[in-house]
Amino acid sequence: HVELEESGGGSVQAGGSLSLSCVVGGYPYKKYCMAWFREREGVAAIDSDGSPTYAESVKGRFTISKDNVKNILYLQMDSLKPEDSAMYSCAVDLGCVTALPGLGLDPMADRYYGYWGRGTQVTVSS
């Protein structure tokens, strides 16, 4: 039974930073793909080898990373803008379907992720 729990959300002014964390519980294996979404819109994804993918709107400002020992997914968010305000959720693709070669699947598509956290709210004021 896989469980995800996010933390780190909050309220900041534009230009500020927040760091989100997502703890993965109940899954003993280390190789899986994960992503951050906001309102089901893909923000950043990372595959089992640590290769990231970013939405155009956050490139250069957000950094996704994963600690495979502690089973924690991170999202460092810098230079935040009011339009970044949303509920941020982490999700897991246990089979790493999106990383399978030759299929051309979008790692930012929510339909490939079977387990989701409840989310953490991020609010950026101007």
Neighbours of 123 (CB within 10 A): 15
Each residue's pLDDT tens digit, 56-81: 999 999 999 999 888 999 999 999 99
Residue 106 has pLDDT above 80, yes or no: yes
Each residue's pLDDT tens digit, 8-47: 999 999 999 999 999 998 876 667 899 999 998 999 999 9
pLDDT > 70 in the chain, percent: 98
Asked if residues 84 and 75 have their Cβ atoms less than 8 Å apart, the reply is no
Residue 126 has pLDDT above 80, yes or no: yes
Q: How many whole angstroms from its chain centre is CA 98?
A: 15
What is the model's pLDDT at position 60? Answer: 98
